[in-house]
Chains A and B, each alone.
Chain A
Amino acid sequence: DGGITQSPKYLFRKEGQNVTLSCEQNLNHDAMYWYRQDPGQGLRLIYYSQIVNDFQKGDIAEGYSVSREKKESFPLTVTSAQKNPTAFYLCASSSRNRAEAFFGQGTRLTVV
């Protein structure tokens, strides 16, 4: 099936540990995005990438890092520098020609 796959669906980590969230797409989309959502809140942009080997900071990039080595993959690392990492993380992708974005099912990260 074509789409965007995020894994895992639920993730638990101890405070102070780095953790990497996976996002893979087989839609041949150029652009990929990471968003964070806190309970009862909207989506805030962490990082986005328009093309392989290039990415830009969004509105809340501090404490996060990304890479874009392959068109299909855009992993997000939540580092120990992120003060409040517990949240719902959503990955999206869009094509170059038609910028409609599609989302994965999300990863719920809990840091204890």
Chain B
Amino acid sequence: GIQVEQSPPDLILQEGANSTLRCNFSDSVNNLQWFHQNPWGQLINLFYIPSGTKQNGRLSATTVATERYSLLYISSSQTTDSGVYFCAVISGGSNYKLTFGKGTLLTVNP
């Protein structure tokens, strides 16, 4: 099946810093999503982005499907941005099987 690799596994920032999280995938995809898992465990949808670029406030994402990677940018980070960020994909050969990467644990210190 499709492989999803996220980097870095851990990231520590000072408040106000910018960061880039990366998601590499091993096959063509029909769907790519970025999620933020909050301290209570709930997965919050950030972006649905199988291709192209989207922005939502301080967050933006870019997926280059032909090169099989996606990037999540966080600007002017805040302590509330802390948590785990997951990338998940549905491969082109499987309509509905949503496969997750292992996540990036982000810690933003005041």
Query: Interface on chain A toward B: helix, strand, loop, or mixed SS?
Result: strand
Residues of B within 8 A of A21 (CB): none
Interface residues on A, range: 20 to 34
Tell me the bound Cα distance from A58 to B100 in angstroms. Answer: 12
Q: Are B86 and A43 in contact (CB under 8 A)?
A: yes
Q: Is the CB of A42 within 8 A of B97?
A: no
CB pair B43 A94 closer than 8 Å: no
A106 near B: Cβ within 8 Å?
A: yes
Question: Which residues of B does A touch, CB under 8 Å?
Answer: 1, 30-31, 33, 35, 40-43, 45, 48, 86, 88, 90, 95-103
Q: 5 A-B Cβ contacts within 8 A?
A: A43-B88, A50-B96, A92-B43, A105-B42, A106-B41
Residues of chain A touching chain B, judged by Cβ–Cβ distance below 8 Å, are: 31, 33, 35, 37, 41-45, 48, 50, 56, 58-59, 88, 90, 92, 94, 98-103, 105-106, 108
